[in-house]
Structure 1
Amino acid sequence: MDYCDITVVVQGPVQTFQDRPQEANITQKCIASIREYLPGAHIILSTWPEQDLTGLDYDEIVISDDPGVNIRNYTINGEPQKYNNNRQIVSSREGLKKVKTPYAIKIRSDNYLTGNNFVELQKKYYKRSDEYNFFNERVVVSNTFTRRYAKGFPVAFHISDFFYYGRTEDVLALWDIPLFEDFQPSKVTPINDGFPNFVIDCTQALFISAIKKFDQNISLEHLLDNRKYKLIQSDKIIANNLIVASPEHIGLGLCQKFLGKARISRRSGQVAMLQFFEWQKIYQKYCDSSICIDSFIKNKVNISFFRLLHVYPNRIQTKFKIFKRKMKNLKS
């Protein structure tokens, strides 16, 4: 592919913004990596007012008004939990709206490229089924925070929000969504929707908001809404519209807070994610029965062993936490 057909939207703050820390010079590293691995690609930096843009080698700048934080839930003690979801929606959406090339990338300003394998990967798996066929082509995403399991249990629609590559209209469809309204507590739902279970994850909420444009019946009640038909629906949509692979496979580098001793980079965190061979398996099941999956049995045995050690034991603790949340709320 001619990289001139790709626009990269680098979205987010350049420096620490509204008390949210940012690794020094990480955005410079991000943009430099795009120049290295996608020579000729157009770079749009979509950020906030009053950011120091000195030395940043972008082609186009988009400055948006800060929508501020959003509140998605409260603690048991009544403290609002604040998130940056609306900031991510605005900076991603407004940048993607400016794209004029056939293909686009949405990447966080604190991530960077380590290769360009995602370009070839996006073309490799092209067969589709008619059911839940939402996008024109598949969109490549990272498996970092694309969870198969959370708190020990299977989860649905838990798609990473770090990196997206695909047709511009498809990537835009994932981010051209309404801002989240603040959660309003009530006697029936004092903590979060789905209480005493855990609030739906940000990644689930973002992805569902996008795909509801294609099917209004798609929804989740809470993080662990893992009824069988929900998990099957999630697998079908993921298989037919996305390609999920590790950062190393895609060619994506993560900032320091997601490396080293960070929970997501430890084995216990890694094995909870949807693995590439698992994505291949659901693609094989729902879209193309003819594909061969390298070392499937070996990889399946390996991941099952480590999930037995690190994932499934969390189920008891999760059930106990839900019980405690319910009892504490009854007492209050």
Structure 2
Amino acid sequence: MIKNSDITVVVQGPVVASPDRAMDEGITEKCLTSVRHHLPGAHVILSTWQGQPVEGLDYDELLLNEDPGSNITEYTADGKPDASNNNRQIVSSREGLKRVKTPYAMKLRSDNYLVGDQFKFLQASFPERCEEDRFLSERVVVNNTFTRAYARSRRVALHMCDFFYFGRTEDVRALWGMSNLPDLAYDQTRNGQKQYWGAPHYKIDCTQKLLLVALQQYDASLNVEHLHDAPDDLIARSERIYANNFVIGEPELIGLGLCSKFGPQERANRLSGRLTYVNFDDWQVLYKTYCDAEFPLGMAPLRIRKRNFLRAFLLAAKLLEEALKRLKKKA
């Protein structure tokens, strides 16, 4: 059993909404209160920005980072830059994790919260490892929301959620120890065309980009060029990396609560969205496949078969919809 006193929770991100990022009113206070309730005795670091209203919030340690601002990830066809908050997440996570002194650490977004402590049991419940693609000292528990097996109706690799990480401090720190991402340089020769990482294919997802940068410290040859860069050998590596270094589970399974924009009625949690995710049943199959051939799956295969039937129907409908859109454009 992992003791609460051996855990530091890094709550990272803004305290209040900014013009480009909506937040539930009082969500960071709710986040911090939930940590105190579900992990009494854990150390809490709030890693946010200079100028944020932190008065009255319950934390043990406060880190007021200089806001790095957003980073340019694409340009429209007329050359207008579009930016993302990747570097804000990197800085608040990285700098907070640098201060952790306990054996275990959690990276928790300031607009999410805890509903339990199941992640402690999950992190310690799967001891077997294989040698290939074994990067971390122990497994790190992550949320399955946006941890996709499919995106835009096609297979994807290394598409793992960045909301929640729990594991050995050295592992979580390594996964969030990357440098800030550079702005995408504008190519004057491609004026009149959209520019982004992965063009002209679908843009590489930010979750792919962050995980890829983290894993390249272990294997510099690992790469994903665009969203659907997923040949069979890379899919196999992606699955083995998931099985060997992480535990992937639904929010309620790991003890995570999501803010309202990821609530039950939002697109992320509709059936059509959830069918594209890697869930805990899927992960257990990967664990059995790559790490522990004797692991009992129980009813997981039956649930997976039912889910795959629905998934196949959904993907076929989406592919048909995309084909009709292309025909309409040509017409």
- Range of TM-score over shorter length: over 0.9
SS in 1 for 2:45: strand
Offset, 1:79: 3.1
Kindly tell me: are residues 132 and 255 of structure 1, through their superposed partners in 2, closer, same or farther at Cα, counting changes over 3 Å?
A: same
Specify whether residues 232 and 322 from structure 1 end up closer, same or farther in structure 2 by C-alpha distance, changes over 3 A only.
farther
Q: 1:251 to 1:281 in 2, by over 3 A?
A: same
Per the alignment, residue 285 of structure 2 pairs with 281
Aligned in 2, Cα 1:12/1:321: closer, same or farther, shift over 3 Å?
farther
Shift of 1:75: 3.0
Distance 1:11 1:299, change over 3 A: same
* Conservation of the 8 A alpha-carbon contact between 2:114 and 2:257: yes
Match of 2:313 in 1: 309
Counterpart residue type for residue 249 of structure 1 = L
- Paired residue for 1:237? 241
Q: In the TM superposition, what are the counterparts of 1:135-154 in structure 2 within 5 Å?
A: 135-154=136-155
Give the percent of matched residue pairs that are identical in Structure 1 and Structure 2. 46
Specify every segment of 5 or more residues in structure 2 that has no aligned partner in the other structure, as ranges. none
Query: Cα gap change, 1:55/1:300 in structure 2, threshold over 3 Å: closer, same or farther?
Result: same
Paired with 2:311 and 2:76, the residues of 1 have a C-alpha distance of 29
For residue 321 of structure 1, report the CA deviation from its aligned partner.
7.3
Residues 139 and 243 of structure 1 are in contact (CA less than 8 Å); yes or no, is this contact kept in structure 2? Answer: yes
Instruction: Name the CA distance, whole Å, in 2 between partners of 1:136 and 1:323.
Output: 50
In structure 2, relative to structure 1, the CA distance for the partners of 1:127 and 1:322 (3 Å cut) is farther
Q: In structure 1, which of residues 296, 300, 305 is the aligned counterpart of residue 300 of structure 2?
A: 296
Q: Give the match for residue 207 of structure 2.
A: 203
Task: Report the AA paired with residue 238 of structure 1.
Answer: Y
Q: 2:274 aligns with which of 267, 270, 274?
A: 270
Distance 2:164 2:195 in 1: 31
1:10-159 superposed matches below 5 A: 10-159=11-160
CA distance 1:81–1:209, shift in 2 (3 Å): same
Aligned residues: 326
Distance 2:218 2:20 in 1: 36
Kept after mapping to 2: 8 A contact 1:9/1:104: yes
Please say if residues 76 and 194 of structure 2, whose CA atoms lie closer than 8 Å, have aligned partners that are also in contact. no
Matched, 1:220 2:221: no
1:271-311 residue CA offsets vs partner (Å, 9 max, x unmatched): 11001111111111111101011212321222112212323
C-alpha distance in structure 1 between counterparts of 2:44 and 2:261, whole Å? 25
Would you say the 8 A contact 1:12–1:46 is kept in 2?
Answer: yes
Counterpart Cα distance in 1 of 2:320 and 2:130: 38
Distance 1:185 1:49, change over 3 A: same
Q: Under a length normalisation based on structure 1, what TM-score does the superposition of the two structures give?
A: 0.94
For residues 179-203 of structure 1, give each alpha carbon's deviation from its aligned partner in whole angstroms, at most 9, with x where no partner exists: 1111123236851233221111000
How far 1:16 sits from its partner (Å)?
1.2
Contact 1:148 1:155 in 2 (8 A): yes
In 2, the alpha carbon distance for the partners of 1:93 and 1:192 equals 25
Q: Which residue identity is paired with 2:317?
A: P
Matched, 1:253 2:254: no
Pairwise CA RMSD of aligned residues? 1.9
SS of the residue 2:195 aligns to = coil
Compared CA separation, residues 184 and 259, structure 1 to 2 (3 A): same
* Distance change (3 Å), C-alpha of 1:319 and 1:170: farther
**2:3 corresponding residue in structure 1:** 2
Q: Which moved more, 1:287-296 or 1:108-117?
A: 287-296
Whether the 8 Å contact between 1:196 and 1:322 is mirrored in structure 2 is no
Query: Which amino acid in structure 2 is aligned with residue 87 of structure 1?
Result: R
Q: Which amino acid aligns with 1:153?
A: R
Q: CA deviation at 1:18?
A: 4.9
For residues 180 and 203 of structure 1, what CA distance do their matches in structure 2 show?
Answer: 13
One-letter amino acid of the counterpart of residue 237, structure 1? I
SS in 1 for 2:31: helix
Structure 1 pair 318/7, CA: closer, same or farther in 2 (3 Å)? farther
TM-score, L = length of structure 2: 0.94
Match of 1:171 in 2: 172
Change beyond 3 A, Cα 1:126–1:321: farther
1:23 offset after TM fit, Å?
1.1
Q: Distance in 2 between matches of 1:261 and 1:79?
A: 33
Structure 1 runs not aligned, ≥5 long? 328-332
Q: State the alpha-carbon separation in 1 of the partners of residues 226 and 69 from structure 2.
A: 24
